[in-house]
Amino acid sequence: MKGKTLRPAATTMPLSAHRVAPGGSVRGGIVMLPGLRESDATIMELARRFAHERYVVLVPELVAGLGLDPQAAARAEQAWQDADLADDPTVGDVMAVMQSPDYERWVMKALRATVGELAKEPGVDTRIAVIGYGTGGGLAFALAAVDSRVRLALSYDCVATDIDLVENIKGAAVSFYAADNAAAAEGLPELRAAMRRAGVPFCAKKYPGNLNTLRDLAAVGPQSALARDLWQRSLAMLRLHLA
């Protein structure tokens, strides 16, 4: 399928982003990449949880920046993990955009501009992490590979990783994923091997399949033991690498 053309404005302008910041001192900054999901209530609640831990959080509007239909984009995000959705024509349109020659150049340029905006925040400087979910996890690793200001790339249920870029990561990388995410599990051995060859500090942890990494992390009420463990490990990684 022929790739669609990106909007010209998107190639030169930073992505619009939601900003969530702590009220007091700052430990660092986070670029949060929810993949091909819009910044819904779940995403923003998770951003607020990280802000409560004293991190400035920017959530770029990638779907809007690409000019994608939000519902089609959300289905495409699911299709990376569920092959049964791959034949949906609306999913195919989104995949065509992501496979266009312009896409990688645009998205990296736009996300680096977002990192630049985050670096200007008082108290952040180069204490920057990128946290991604699903396809956003793959983008987190790619962004860490092209921007040395990123000290930590942390992914939840990562899919669509560009293995060829891993060797350029200057910081550390982490992958947390649910056991029922076949795409993340299948890609882990190759990802781990690439990180090892490149000398990138890397760790990964698999959680039982009943854990929804995004929804459960965002929950502010009673959490399962698995969700609490995932949250505490995530905070530990941030404290370690953004100190």
Q: Which residue range(s) make up the domain with 132?
A: 8-241
Higher pLDDT, 182 or 89: 182
- Answer whether residue 3 is part of any domain: no
- Answer whether residue 58 is part of any domain: yes
Q: Quick one: tokens of 83?
A: 């092959």
- Answer whether residue 2 is part of any domain: no
Closest CA to 26 of 122, 111, 158: 122
- Answer whether residue 155 is part of any domain: yes
pTM score: 0.88
Closest CA to 217 of 236, 204, 231, 207: 231
Q: CATH number, domain at 215?
A: 3.40.50.1820
Beta bridge partners of 60: 17
How many CB atoms lie under 10 A from the CB of residue 208? Answer: 10
- Answer whether residue 1 is part of any domain: no
What is the pLDDT at residue 128?
98
What is the tens place of the pLDDT at every residue in 97-120? 777 777 778 888 999 999 999 999
What is the pLDDT at residue 9?
38
- Answer whether residue 96 is part of any domain: yes
Higher pLDDT, 85 or 34: 34
Task: Tell me how many domains the chain contains.
Answer: 1
Task: Give CA angle at 38 (131, 184), nearest 5°.
Answer: 45
Instruction: Report percent pLDDT > 70 for the chain.
Output: 90
Is pLDDT above 90 for 162? no
Give yes or no for a contact between 121 and 21, defined as CB atoms under 8 angstroms apart.
Answer: yes
23-37: average pLDDT? 91
